Chain A
Amino acid sequence: MMTASSIFFGATLVCYFISTILYVLGVTGRKMKIAAGKANIWTKWGYIFSISGVLMHIAAMITRGVGAGFTPVSNMFEYMSFWAFTIMLAFVVINFFYKVPGLGAFVVPVGLTILTYASVFPREVKPLIPALQSYWLSIHVTTAALGEGILTISFAAGLMYLLVVTDLAKQPRSAKFLEFIVYLFTALVSFIAISLSFRIGGYEVIAQTAEGAAQLYKMPPIAGPSGTDLGSLTTLLGVSLPLFNAPGWMQGTDSAIQFNTIIWTVLGSLVLYGILRLIARKPLVAVISRWVRGLDEEMLDELSYRAVAIGYPVFTLGALVFAMIWAQEAWGSYWSWDPKETWALITWLYYTAYLHLRLRQGWEGVRTAWMAVAGFVVILFLLVGVNLLISGLHAYA
């Protein structure tokens, strides 16, 4: 069963990858320019591959669930994979009704990125600890992820809307912000690529902190724990590491490691971004904004809002109400201000503000679209940032 699951998982990755390529070709190909937002042969096949990918994904999860004996949403690999699934599912369903071919060029790469990120985490099935032995695990996690998946569509549509309405030449400030969003995506991709390659290579270096605690580095320590002798830990391509140390005020348990990861991510993203810039020879946003030419801005605005209107109640149910009921049963308190819980509330408050602001004059359109785009960062922090940077009761992975 687990072998079958791995094969299906691989097939899912391939489907999403092909779908991404087809969609990007479909919106950039000079000869198959999307006329007035109509689908072309590329985007049609892109959609078909998205659907196949979603079906493969379902097969991968079912076989894994059968093999493990429980719903596979209990560690970071399974959870990230499930989130990618809900993003793609929401896309496939919403695209069926709204038929915006260009949407795929924005959503499918995100789904693919998240699924690739899932592969960074160990894939082995670990039996469940007592707190997770509850049917509420699957109910709470799947509903919450579905809400987050739908909200991700709002981000993509909001971004497309901004690309349509922004005149890059006349609105340099907006253009810069949009370019920054594109840069953030390259940062995400490079973070995943670096983590994945060092994990595949099985890279590990142990550093001793000044207090004598051992720190396990899974990337070469450019920055060591504060107080380490420079160049004493290891060498990478002939360079002795660390080159410098984390500042002394960073005294959290893993903060030196996180500091090092951030340095790697920034370096990697600058390289990746630089290469892309060299190929494009202009701001990347100028390239991407051509993907959305001819799309109806009002429809995109409406789509972005509708995705929030559909996703918000699902998120409330899954990430807050079901979470409270389960917390009450497992931890003996429906609310304990655990960081994950708190961030779910922050995300909810954020979208609550979005929904209220949308009713105000002057907020429809550009401003709320920016909020929808920034909302993805909030969700990303809720799902990934909290686990990486803050420990708490949800640190199972």
Chain B
Amino acid sequence: MKQVQAETQKKKQKSLFDHIWDFFASVKVAIVIIILLAVTSIIGTIYPQENAIPSPNPQFYYADTYGKMGDLYYRLGLSDMYNSWWFLALVLLLAISLIICSIERVIPLYKSLKNQPIARKVIAIRGDRLYANQSEADQSRIDQLAEAFKKKRYKVRREGNALLAEKGRLPRFGAYIIHIGLLIIIAGVFVRLIPGAYYSGMVWLKQGERQYIEDVGFGLQNNGFTLEFYDDAQTRVKKYETDVAVYVGDEEKATKHLIVNEPLKFNNTLIFQNSYDPNPMFKRGKVELTDKASGKSYGTFDINFDDPKPSYQVGEYTLTMINYYPDIKVDPEKGGVYTNSRDPYNPGLQLSISKPGMEGQTQWMMPLAPFVEEMLGKEYQFKLKLVQVELFNMTGLHLQKDLGIPVVYAGCAVVLWGLVLCFYYQHRRIWARLEDGELHIGANTNKNWIGLNKEFNKLIATVGIDPVTFKPKAKKKAAQQAKQLDTPQSDAPHGKEGTEK
């Protein structure tokens, strides 16, 4: 009486920790979290996420591209929702649920399988879905069966005139192995929060350019980029590849002909051929100075568009650079010109041409904007023609350092192992008991009754029993009755769930 009172007292005084524990131990809660994750994930696919939009200004992009809905999407933070605190919180809740649900069930399962009786009551064996018997049997039958079971790689335990053969106990833990694998994956994802464990960034390199990337501690140099198309109209890319070199200080540490799908690994950092700039840039060219009216050539000079000289000499003429716009644009409002970037996509040169005895004449040269040049140059005496040009595309390399990758992969392997155990293997148990000169054999499995039936018939044939067929699944009432007697399934990991509803 006292004990009962103490227990009820104990029940009433559940601590906050117990409440939280019980909450997360429920499969119902786990399912709710899973469904919440699925439903919220859908929201993030309505419009592209910020990492996938072709603009660095999400605050304008969503409103411009998708209108009011897009703007609302951005304002609600849904455009970057997979990094939002509430989504990460959901993932953490799932992790907690995985841990507590597993602990709640795996320990009772382990204990019950460890302490399961070898000798079951005959009446219970008779109730098994797969059952066979033989009258006028003796102890030697049990010995024979034990031998046959061992040959089929069953683990056999004996106790007097009873026997328990068991195979595939580990698959019963398959679900929990999956859970462990998922936890490892989640841990692997969160590794990136450790300072120095994660870096992701793009590097754009011109031909021959070297850039030092501080976060990963090395520099990259582009020793040549090639771009090929399948068709002449250049609509379908065949390949884009970079000869890349890794530098630490001034020392070349590694080189690779980098292609898509085959990254270079250096210093725990992966270097990927990610993309290229579809707009080519001017590298070097040869410019011819001619007389506009007669077309007579005065000679040529070479120019490096990345680093033009202050002046060039063609025969007796001196060409002095007044202004250089690497990426020239016309300002439609003010009417002037400016440069859009420091990269020579669309070079515009303003030169002064002079020779001894002739005053300097201003002249523009714009190879990609001949109309503008024509418009400005009605009065020009000369013409500057680009007769040879070397163009190149910038290569886009993606750098990724993620020390969590091996952890995530290991987690995936564990999940797959657990899935195979859980869904493709089964736990089989066969009990035999000799009582009053009659041999009773009963079998149980958690799945694939047909397979067990076949094996069972082969095994009982060794002691001369005719084949049997398993009984159809017991209806609920019958199952309840069986439970009261003795059931080998009472150790089912989710057995508790029935009472929870």
Contact = CB atoms under 8 A, between A and B. Distances in A.
A253 B48 CA distance: 12
Interface stretch (A50-58, A155-163, A231-239, A345-353): A345-353
A313 B420 contact: yes
A360 B230 contact: no
A359 B497 contact: yes
Given A316-B416, A357-B31, A359-B494, A134 B261 contact: yes
Band of interface residues on B: 35 or more
A342 interface: yes
Given A133-B260, A333-B400, A350 B38 contact: yes
A332 B261 contact: no
A353 B35 contact: yes
A68 B447 CA distance: 44
Interface string A236-253: 000000000000110111
Most buried by B among A320, A333, A337: A337
B41 A316 contact: no
A356 interface: yes
Contact of B239 (A130, A331, A350): A130
A321 B412 contact: yes
B274 A332 contact: yes
A256 B113 CA distance: 62
A248 B420 CA distance: 51
A338 interface: yes
A309 B34 contact: no
B260 A130 contact: yes
Contact of A332 (B28, B38, B67, B263): B263
B366 interface: no
B230 A330 contact: no
Contacts of A18: none
A353 B263 contact: no
A332 B398 contact: yes
A93 interface: no
Interface in A339-397: 339, 342-343, 345-346, 349-350, 352-353, 356-357, 359-362, 386, 390-393
Interface in B46-86: 46, 48-49, 51-52, 65-70, 82
B238 interface: yes
B278 to A, nearest CB: 14
Given A316-B415, A359-B497, A342 B34 contact: no
Given A127-B230, A336-B51, A329 B239 contact: no
Given A310-B424, A330-B260, 5 more contacts: A133-B239, A333-B402, A353-B38, A360-B497, A361-B498
22 contacts: A127-B230, A129-B236, A131-B260, A133-B239, A251-B65, A251-B67, A252-B65, A309-B447, A310-B423, A313-B419, A313-B420, A316-B416, A321-B415, A321-B416, A324-B408, A328-B405, A332-B398, A332-B400, A349-B38, A359-B27, A360-B501, A386-B45
Interface of A: 126-127, 129-131, 133-134, 136, 248-249, 251-253, 298, 309-310, 312-313, 316-317, 320-321, 324-325, 328-339, 342-343, 345-346, 349-350, 352-353, 356-357, 359-362, 386, 390-393
Interface of B: 27-28, 30-31, 34-35, 37-38, 41-42, 44-46, 48-49, 51-52, 65-70, 82, 189, 200, 230, 236-240, 259-263, 270, 272-274, 398, 400, 402, 405, 408-409, 412, 415-416, 419-420, 422-424, 447, 472-473, 494, 497-498, 501
